[in-house]
A and B are shown apart, each in its own frame.
Chain A
Amino acid sequence: MTDTTSGVVPESAGEPAMKSLLIADARTRRRNAAETRFRAYGIIAIGLAIAALFWLLSTILADGSSAFRQTYATIPVSIDASVVDPKGNRNPEEMRKVLTLSYEKLLTTGLKDYIAKENLQIEGLSDRDLKGFLSDQAKANLRASVLNDPELIGQVVTVPALTSSRIDGYFKGRVTAEQAARDSKTSPAQLALADALKSRDVLETRFNMGFLTNADASETRPESAGLGVAILGSAYMMLIVLVLALPIGVAASIYLEEFAPKNRLTDVIEVNIANLAAVPSIVYGILGLAVFINFVGLPRSAPIVGGLVLTLMTLPTIIIATRAALKAVPPSIRDAALGVGASRMQTVFHHVLPLAMPGILTGTIIGLAHALGETAPLLLIGMVAFVQDYPDAPPAGLFDPASALPVQIYNWTRRADPAFFERAAGAIIVLLVFLLIMNLAAIWLRRRFERRW
């Protein structure tokens, strides 16, 4: 087995030693080669794992970063009183009856006037192309701002208007002229117009705040879809998880770690928690559907149900982390407290728990991060529904329909328009930023407060 016996012929054999320890023989070389190979496998494995990580993150970043930018057209639009206020009495009730369609006319006229004024010659530009140039949302926004401020009527306003997702996609490289020729929704003339407007600084692609604050939008207007409702829904659910899972988890761990007698029941609870931690998350979704929605009768799509399901899912994680933190507090602390006459309850709540707190909080934050990214159980309790209204403030808002970040991502991947894929990847960036912040907080807590005994 060893180098020396196989590599060197003993002197007692009487023959001169033909081999040297310094020159490896074939067998040693083979063994050394095997050693190098084995080491290389390890390095390759680590390299593959890290390459996969970079591949994953870089594709998401490359696909999603454009979702934070959006193309707006800033053209002068004259708010014609005869269109938006046909009776001329500025009565808000009557102005409300004027539909978005009329505002579309205003925008299209504005665009047409601008083209005429600048004397742009674009071949094959039809009225239909002009209509499709701006987003449906731009008309709705214009209508809302006019209703909000009737003073605008009769004036010429220059507001940035959302362009349609195809035009936006053209500047982000998602739509090309060849595709536009084949696509029924886009025409090459539109893209030529876009180029002409861009060169006159009328079209501008800039940071898109609406992506973070808007509600979800319908299939036909991806350019206005945002994460507002989803972020709010996720925040509500995290609030519920924090408020329920942290106290319950800590209380359960204190009992199991400090008070529970070693008996059959305690064993059952322990095995139970270990198994609950490994139950597939979708099973928790089934539980939520059967118990909270069908049995208790809570509303579907509500953050309260999602929060309860995620609480049950996070509890084992928090219990396991808390028990480890409690176990790490040395028994001398307990002995000292008991020695000066504290009761066991006082020992735990006055001395052990404060010392274990950093570990408990670290575990809780990591549990929350897992809950924030969880999708499958939320699909089953109806959070996939299309929600356009923001939920109210808690507590009443907890029962309103809402979305959640990961579910919104899933929703967008199901839609046909490729512009939604960009949004989904952008939403993932938002989700990952939240997770990064939470994990950094956990690391900071651990570094700052961890004590080694």
Chain B
Amino acid sequence: MPVSWIILLVLVLAATAYVLGRRRALEGANGDPRRLHSRPVYYGWNAALSALVPAVLMLVVTRLALGSSNLGALLVLAAAIAGVIFALSRTTPDFRARNMVEQVVKAGLILCSSVAIATTLGIILSLVFESAQFFRMYPWQDFLFGTEWTPAFGGGSKLGMLPLLWGTLYISLIALLVAVPIGLFAAIYMSEYAGPRVRAWVKPAIEILAGIPTIVYGLFALVTVGPLLRDWIAAPTGLGDSGSSVMTAGIVMGIMLIPFVSSLSDDIINAVPQSLRDGSLGLGSTPSETIRNVVLPAALPGIVGAILLAASRAIGETMIVVLGAGAMARISGNPFEAMTTITVKIVGQLTGDNDFASPETLVAFALGLTLFVITLALNIFALYIVRKYREQYE
């Protein structure tokens, strides 16, 4: 019997149980709901849940133990029917049906909250297990400190992470150099100078940038910014002849990060108490002096946190660098040369036909682990700073 049929049957059974449970409770109370412990619907729900919960549990168990079989289907239905009979036998006017139903609902709520933990565990376990397999084939020292990235599927490949890490950090640095001044000054202007009408137009306009998918930025880098930089700056100065470069990816990623920096900084600047500003202005400072000498120092930890969050975003960004940065793994200081990042190589090693026993494929999991650890550390540090700062003024 296919699963959909079993599920349908169990649902029909549960609906019947609902009707039966409700009727039995009312009959027990001679049709007067005031003599029941709970409202009649709860007796119905109690009976229905008594069918559903054992059936679902049995379904999972039989699927794992027996696979798809008629015996399993019978066991599931038997569990549902047994549950209904048990529930109906307990249905008396004194039975605390509401408490039973609420306990089941609460258990369901807890189960849903644990999905978050299960996701984290899934991420960590899958990364660690596959990476461990990789490190059995490839020495970890060579991975972490190797300066050469030349995967060869025939064997004898060199999988040093450093060139990828260098590309990642270089591009992120340029992105932050673009995003932080623009985002910060925009936030300062909007929270300290702009009137409500300007704010009402400018803030959503900047936030549109945050809603644009990264693939759009990627295409923008590939088709517009890359050729522009190559033809106007890199080629005339002889710095490079490739459309994809660290600069291309960095600038476009910087544009993507502007709303991120500006909205976070805006929140943080607004959280600085007005009394600090009033005190400074009252002593005769100009607004800009107030901002530079009073507001920004007070907001500094939060702004640093915001920049760290932006940095973690930049490090984990994929599509912009896949389309804009190139695929050459190298360590160089010239921003107009194509370089590559950790995320590009994860995509590169894991798309197409994979052989999950070769180090060239498994290295992607080790790269993923590296990426996860870096971004997690940045996030935890940033959240710690932001949270600690917020408590100061609340």
Q: Which residues of A contact B (CB under 8 A)?
A: 1-4, 31-32, 34-35, 37-39, 41-46, 48-50, 52-53, 55-56, 59-60, 63, 247-249, 251-252, 254-256, 259-260, 268-269, 272-276, 278-287, 289-291, 294-295, 312, 315-316, 319, 343, 345, 369, 372-376, 379-380, 382, 384, 395, 406, 409-410, 413, 421, 424-425, 428, 431-432, 435, 439
CB within 8 Å for A39 and B193 given contacts A56-B217, A275-B379, A315-B116: yes
Residues of B contacting A1 with CB < 8 Å? 283-285
- Can you list, as one digit per residue, whether each of B116-130 has a CB less than 8 Å from chain A (1) or not (0)? 110110110011011
- Asked whether, in the complex, the Cβ of B312 is within 8 Å of the Cβ of A251, the reply is no
CB within 8 Å for A38 and B216 given contacts A290-B130, A380-B346: no
- Can you list, as one digit per residue, whether each of B214-230 has a CB less than 8 Å from chain A (1) or not (0)? 11111110111000000
Query: Which 8 A-B pairs have CB atoms at the shortest separation, nearest pair first?
Result: A280-B316, A373-B213, A42-B189, A2-B284, A290-B126, A45-B185, A38-B288, A251-B112
Whether a CB of chain A sits under 8 angstroms from the CB of B347 is: yes
- Asked whether, in the complex, the Cβ of A281 is within 8 Å of the Cβ of B186, the reply is no
- Asked whether, in the complex, the Cβ of B127 is within 8 Å of the Cβ of A286, the reply is yes
A295 to B356, CA, bound (A): 12
A286 to B259, CA, bound (A): 28
Residues of A contacting B119 with CB < 8 Å? 276, 287, 312, 315
Whether a CB of chain A sits under 8 angstroms from the CB of B108 is: yes
Whether a CB of chain A sits under 8 angstroms from the CB of B98 is: yes
A287 to B346, CA, bound (A): 13
Q: Which of B19-27, B83-91, B368-376 lines the interface with chain A? A: B368-376
Whether a CB of chain A sits under 8 angstroms from the CB of B81 is: no
A302 to B60, CA, bound (A): 23
Whether a CB of chain A sits under 8 angstroms from the CB of B383 is: yes
Q: Which partner residue on chain A sits nearest B376 by CB separation?
A: A275
- Asked whether, in the complex, the Cβ of A49 is within 8 Å of the Cβ of B209, the reply is yes
Q: How close is B244's CB to chain A, nearest CB, in angstroms?
A: 12
Whether a CB of chain A sits under 8 angstroms from the CB of B235 is: no
A379 to B354, CA, bound (A): 13
- Asked whether, in the complex, the Cβ of A273 is within 8 Å of the Cβ of B116, the reply is yes
Q: Considering the complex, which residues of chain B in the window 356-392 have a beta carbon less than 8 Å from any beta carbon of chain A?
A: 356, 364-365, 368, 371-372, 375-376, 379-380, 383
Q: How close is A274's CB to chain B, nearest CB, in angstroms?
A: 6
CB within 8 Å for A52 and B258 given contacts A283-B368, A343-B98: yes
Q: Which residues of B contact A (CB under 8 A)?
A: 4, 98, 102, 105-106, 108-110, 112-117, 119-120, 122-123, 126-127, 129-130, 181-186, 188-190, 193, 202, 205-206, 208-209, 211-220, 222-224, 255, 258-259, 262, 283-289, 291-292, 309, 312-313, 315-319, 322-323, 343, 346-347, 350-351, 356, 364-365, 368, 371-372, 375-376, 379-380, 383
- Asked whether, in the complex, the Cβ of A431 is within 8 Å of the Cβ of B213, the reply is yes
Q: Chain B: interface secondary structure?
A: helix
- Asked whether, in the complex, the Cβ of A376 is within 8 Å of the Cβ of B115, the reply is no
Q: Which of B105, B182, B291, B350 lies in contact with A49, CB distance below 8 A? A: B182
* 21 chain-A/chain-B pairs, Cβ below 8 angstroms: A35-B289, A45-B189, A46-B190, A46-B202, A49-B259, A52-B255, A251-B112, A252-B113, A259-B109, A260-B113, A275-B383, A279-B316, A282-B346, A282-B368, A286-B123, A286-B350, A315-B119, A373-B215, A379-B347, A410-B215, A424-B219
